[in-house]
């Protein structure tokens, strides 16, 4: 893949199913993006060498994708928060067979951030979607291809970029939400 100048590989279920423990990510210089649904999956993916995490979920016909994205981000945040104040022994028990360094887990608990970026993906088509996922500790987001089907995609994308920039500044953010 390196010879083909691939920029990144997104590890979808098909690739994950090819190997019981996921794809070996250290044998390549190509960044691997791993889809995760919870904290333990995130820790495993980081251990395996993922360069970036993205929200992942099973599609449900009757639910909007942004709702599923929010559920995953909230679940991860709740799991991290639930470890706050735990002893080393309790954290080790939580990790079970996952060989994630205790100091690294403590840093995640303290900062509420992973050592690699976590991107929100799924149903992100509005600036309000962007602001919401950024407020849930995503480091960025992957916009839905539906963005290109709105009447003015250039304006929408500009508003979404500004929502990333100003998600925690309501006075500035409001200027870019008219497109929501």
Span 39-79, pLDDT tens digits: 999 999 999 989 999 998 766 665 558 999 999 999 999 99
CA–CA distance, 26 with 39 (Å, rounded to integer): 21
pLDDT above 90 for 38: yes
pLDDT above 50 for 14: no
Starting from the edge strand earliest in sequence, which strands make up the sheet with 32-36, in order?
9-11, 32-36, 52-55, 118-121, 140-142
pLDDT in tens, 74-120: 999 999 999 999 999 999 999 999 999 999 999 999 999 999 999 99
CA–CA distance, 105 with 102 (Å, rounded to integer): 5
CA atoms within 13 A on the CB side of 81: 8
Phi, psi angle pair for 171, to nearest 5°: -65, -35
Question: Do 46 and 114 contact (CB within 8 A), yes or no?
Answer: yes
Hey, which residues does 10 pair with through a beta bridge? 33
């Amino acid at each position: 893949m390196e010879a083909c100048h691939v920029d990144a590989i997104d590890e979808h279920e098909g690739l994950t199913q090819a190997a019981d423990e996921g794809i070996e990510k250290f044998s390549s210089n190509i960044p691997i993006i791993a889809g995760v649904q919870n904290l333990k999956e995130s820790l495993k993916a980081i251990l395996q060498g993922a360069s970036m995490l993205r929200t992942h979920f099973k599609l449900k016909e009757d639910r909007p994708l942004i709702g599923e994205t929010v559920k995953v981000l909230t679940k991860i945040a709740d799991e991290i928060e639930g470890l706050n104040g735990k002893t080393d022994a309790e954290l080790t028990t939580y990790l079970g067979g996952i060989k994630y360094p205790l100091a690294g887990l403590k840093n995640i608990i303290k900062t509420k951030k992973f050592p690699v970026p976590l991107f929100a993906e799924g149903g992100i088509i509005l600036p309000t979607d962007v602001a919401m996922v950024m407020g849930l500790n995503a480091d960025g987001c992957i916009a839905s291809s539906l963005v290109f089907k709105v009447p003015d995609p250039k304006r929408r994308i500009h508003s979404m970029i500004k929502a990333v920039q100003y998600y925690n500044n309501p006075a500035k953010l409001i200027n870019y939400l008219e497109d929501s």
